[in-house]
Amino acid sequence: MKKFTMLLIAGLVSFTGASFAAENATPAKPISFSFEGPFGTFDKAQLQRGYKVYKEVCSNCHSMRLVAFRNLADHGGPGFTEEQVKALAATFTVKDGPDAEGNMFDRPGLASDRFPSPFPNEQAAAAANGGAAPPDLSLITKAREGWHGTFNQLWSNIGGPQYVYSLLTGYEEPSEEIKKETPEGKHYNPYFVSGHFISMPPPLADGQVTFDDGAPNKVDDMARDVSAFLAWTAEPKMEERKQLGFMVLIFLSVFAGLMYFVKKKIWRDAH
Amino acid sequence: MSGPSKYQPSSAVGKWFHERLPIVAFAKDHALDFPTPKNLNYWWTFGGILAVMLVVQILTGIVLVMHYTPQTDLAFNSVEHIMRDVNYGWLLRYMHMNGASMFFVAVYIHMFRGMYFGSYKAPREVLWMIGVIIYLIMMATAFMGYVLPWGQMSFWGAKVITNLFSAIPFVGDFVTTWLWGGYSVDNPTLNRFFSLHYLLPFVLAAIVFLHIWALHVVGNNNPTGINVKGPQDTLPFHPYYTMKDGFAIVVFLIVYGLFVFYGPNYMGDAVNYVPANPLVTPAHIKPEWYYLPFYAILRAVPDKLLGVIAMFSSILILLALPWLDTSRVRSGTYRPIFKGFFWVFVVVCIGLGFIGSKPPEGSYVLWGRILAFYYFFHFIVILPLLGLLETPKPLPASISDDVLAKQK
């Protein structure tokens, strides 16, 4: 009987290995971020740089509908001041209305507005981008997995920010063979989630965005910064969650300890 | 089982009330004085844990509903509104989402405990069967809840599962259209799932009451599986088991908290953070982890109708378990061969879960069929034969004897 169980376990384990190979996208590059681990927090300067990359590069095609300008000043975020938020919101044009005459009108953005989308609707976005609408980026780092595997994801998270980073830095000159397979207007990127051919051309070039703090701005640096920023847009309450979690778990652990000793005392004379 | 009530109203008002509605006596008899076998181990604490989880799910759910919008264009964003704008909305939502998973963790341990210690055998058949019905309603509730955020997996999961009913001969298409409220999964489907998702937990609470009632008629089983022979074998529920269960509940909450605060999306599917899109099918449609063994059984059968029958049978067969197991000895502790087969069965269930998470290709298909076959083989062949062929170990004379023997 034991032998049979062992055989069964061995069988299950042996094809677990095979299953990892079956996934077609290349696992993301396992870079680390400041916000990982139970005490990890966002690096405010990095989020501000990431915001600049989003604003100057990504936002030309990608919407970020779920995030409001005011969020940029929220606790646990990029740490812009309210004045800065008002100023940067005003650099966007927001469609509002109807006014008293029933007309829609454009006005500068307010802190309470959500980020305006670059295209009026998904059809327009697809038409302007070779038939593939650029996805909304608000939740992108939670909607993608960097790697697979039950235990792998338990120890190293699901790797969404790493996926974004790997995608941005993963454009490769394809081999002659792959070049022949590449559909018209697509680009080879082994990290792309659905097949290796992506409609988005390489979005970043060295030195493209100049950071106010003079931080390095190679493709690799900008990709890290914007991935961190998108990790925050997807999970803006992460710092609050970890801090509260720490207090809750301390409380529960002490409570469990007390319960255990009371239980022991009560049960001492039970038998 | 519980004998005459020990409740004596201490005041005139108490006496007046007791003569009109003896609810205080009822509570005292069943929540405090109830005689409970003195040898229950920590596997028995999962009943209490499940009760707590049901309450957590109902409370967090009621508040979530205050902020959620069941409409296909708004549902996804309303969940994100909860995550971003509602005070502690992220906490409520992560508690509810992970609470469902933890609920199933607890129910599976509770069920396997019942199987190992023979808690389904006479006179507890009805108690067990009510439990199976609770489990079925839990599955339906969780499935409908998963549809509500209206992400990609919500939509496609709903589509795949409701499509199963189209396999019913002659009326299948009609039934599916009726379930959908239209010709595909759409706003009417979301609305009715929302309505039922709010209703079923209260149905569940009522059936849980029946479950506990049935438990209090026949009394707890225990690790030796032998009957309580007298007061020396039992302890009052309070303070002994309120403390033991309470301690276990707090430990369980720690595990639950680790997921809520440090891995809230670990048990979910990343694709569900993409809003539902009826025109784009996700690469791998798979249900939440707690359905995976049954999903594997469904896919193990090449024919759609037979697959659906196999899947439902794999759950409904639990209703017949009290009669499939022919052994007179309840506890697996005294059944040397059964014990081995029990653990093989646990591994087979986990294996089926693993197969369910994988695309149906290559060796997964063959393994899925072998394990699905074994699942039924365990119930239909092994358990009935084992009861007739196996020689159990000698049972202790009483619960009290067993406890004392172990203390030496």
**To 10 degrees, what angle do helices B304-324 and B292-300 make?**
120
Q: How many Cβ atoms sit within 10 Å of the Cβ of residue B231?
A: 10
- How many percent of chain B have pLDDT more than 70? 99
List pLDDT tens digits, range B160-210. 999 999 999 999 999 999 999 999 999 999 999 999 999 999 999 999 999
Q: What is the mean pLDDT of residues B240-266?
A: 97
* Residue B345 token pair: 């069965």
| Distance of residue A25 Cα from the nearest chain B Cα, in angstroms | 12
The full DSSP string for B296-309 is HHHHHSSSHHHHHH
* Domain formed by A42-67+114-237, architecture: Orthogonal Bundle (1.10)
Contact B407/A at CB under 8 A: yes
Interchain CB contact of B354 with A (< 8 Å): yes
d(CA A65, CA A63): 6
Q: How many CB pairs under 8 A join A and B?
A: 119
B-chain CB neighbours of A142 within 8 Å are 265, 270, 273
**In chain A, whose CA is at the least distance from the CA of B78?**
A66
Q: Are B67 and B86 in contact (CB under 8 A)?
A: yes
As a whole number, mean pLDDT of residues B244-248 equals 98
A2, A3, A16, A19, best to mutate vs chain B, most B CBs in 10 Å: A19
In angstroms, the CA B26 to CA A118 distance is 65
Confidence of residue B304 (pLDDT cuts 50, 70, 90): very high
Nearest Cβ partner for A241 among B253, B261, B273: B261
**Cβ-Cβ contacts under 8 Å, B251 against chain A:** 256
- Of B280, B275, B258, give the one whose Cα is nearest residue B267: B258
Considering only CB atoms, B265 lies closest to which of A4, A15, A158, namely: A158
Q: What whole-number distance in Å separates Cα of residue A139 and Cα of residue B270? A: 10
Cβ atoms of residues A49 and A214 within 8 Å: no
For the CA atoms of B380, B381, B385, B390, the dihedral, rounded to the nearest 10 degrees, stands at -110
Encoded tokens for B47:
């009943």
Domains of chain B: 37-219+236-281 (1.20.810.10), 286-394 (1.10.287.980)
Residue in chain A lying closest to B235 (CA): A270
Task: Report the distance separating Cα B272 and Cα B154, nearest Å.
Answer: 7
pLDDT band at B146 (very low <50, low <70, confident <90, very high): very high
Residue with tokens 């697809």: A126
Chain B residues lying within 8 Å of A16, measured CB to CB: 354
Residue contact B247–A263, C-beta within 8 A:
yes
Would you call B262 and A242 a contact, using CB atoms and an 8 Å cutoff? yes
Domain edges within chain A = 42-67+114-237
Is B95 a residue whose pLDDT tops 50?
Answer: yes
Helices (H) and strands (E) counted in chain A, each on its own, are: 10, 4
pLDDT in tens, B57-84: 999 999 999 999 999 999 999 999 999 9
Fill in the DSSP letter of residue B151. B
Q: Which 8-state DSSP code applies to residue B70? A: -
Measured between alpha carbons, how far is B69 from B76 in angstroms, rounded to an integer? 9
Interface of B with A in 359-388 (CB under 8 A): 359, 362-364, 367
pLDDT score for A24: 62
